[in-house]
Amino acid sequence: MRGTLGLGLVVALAGTAGAAGTAAAQDSTAAPGGGGRRALGGMVASSAAFRDSVQQALRDGPGGGFAYETRLSRRWADRLFGGFTISVSQPTGQFRRFAGVGVGIAANAAVSADRAGILGLRVEGGAQNYGRAAGPAQTVTGPLFSNQYRQVTSNDIYWGALGPQLSVPLGPVRPYAFGTLGVANFATTSRLIGLGLDGRQSQSLEISDLRNFAVTRGYGGGLRFRVPRGLGRTPLSVDLGAKAHLIRSARYLQPGFFSPTQDLSLREVRGQANFVTYHLGFSAGGR
């Protein structure tokens, strides 16, 4: 494409230069009164000829024209997509005895192995809360001070996984299914929030009560509903689906408020921590 386009531009420049030289020669033999007007007309004609020649050279190039994006970049853009979701989690099995319904957020991305977008590799990660509690205001009194604080405890699961994904890229409603393998981090964090004289927060101290990593397996699926008008050339879809998170062995703390002096081993649980998330979000990209 570069050779053909360059040759076309050279021909355009040569033709324009010849036209400009002829106009200048004619102006040199013309009368003084009309030479300026004829010279200006020759320059305008030469500019128009150059513009038309460049446009013709671009149209004659490979692919029928000039484009800022290549076929290779367009092909890879068709194979990539990603999105964000919000989710509601429901514990199952043993985990249901200690955890309640939670909320979370997640992000996912996938690259297709074929142009049709049927088989791909999915990468995802997110954060899910399964418990939160706030204790009553307590007063700490010393020889020279008196201060109030409140303890807020949050039980969260941070996870990341990858695995194969199958999609049916036909029509405006596109079902998909996937399986993943990854790592989950069970984290319980407490914040000691100091209160001022007016009862408002004045300072806080964060304490990590427990962090434990566990292997997680999962499978899920859903539906993508194509939005009629996406982001320019990028397709946009509404993503609705569910995923089962299977964690065979984990260590985590029961949700609920506890004081800093309480023995954490009394609230620690070991065993399965399976849960299901139902998500709703948006995704962009793909075919």
Q: What is the pLDDT of residues 247-276, one digit of tens each?
A: 999 999 888 766 555 666 667 889 999 999
Query: Which band of pLDDT confidence, cut at 50, 70 and 90, is reported for residue 2?
Result: very low
Structural domain count of the chain: 2
Do 108 and 218 fall into the same domain? yes
Structural domain for 16, as ranges: 2-64
Residue count (the chain):
287
Q: What is the pTM of this model?
A: 0.66
Do 200 and 261 fall into the same domain? yes
CB atoms within 10 A of CB 17: 12
Alpha-carbon distance of 131 to 155, in angstroms, equals: 5
Do 98 and 228 fall into the same domain? yes
The whole-number pLDDT of residue 31 equals 46
If you average pLDDT over residues 72-87, what whole number do you get?
A: 75
Query: Which band of pLDDT confidence, cut at 50, 70 and 90, is reported for residue 153?
Result: confident
Alpha-carbon distance of 80 to 110, in angstroms, equals: 6
Residue 154 counted as domain residue: yes
By percentage, how much of the chain surpasses pLDDT 90?
36
Query: Which band of pLDDT confidence, cut at 50, 70 and 90, is reported for residue 60?
Result: low
- 120 DSSP β-pair partners: 112, 165
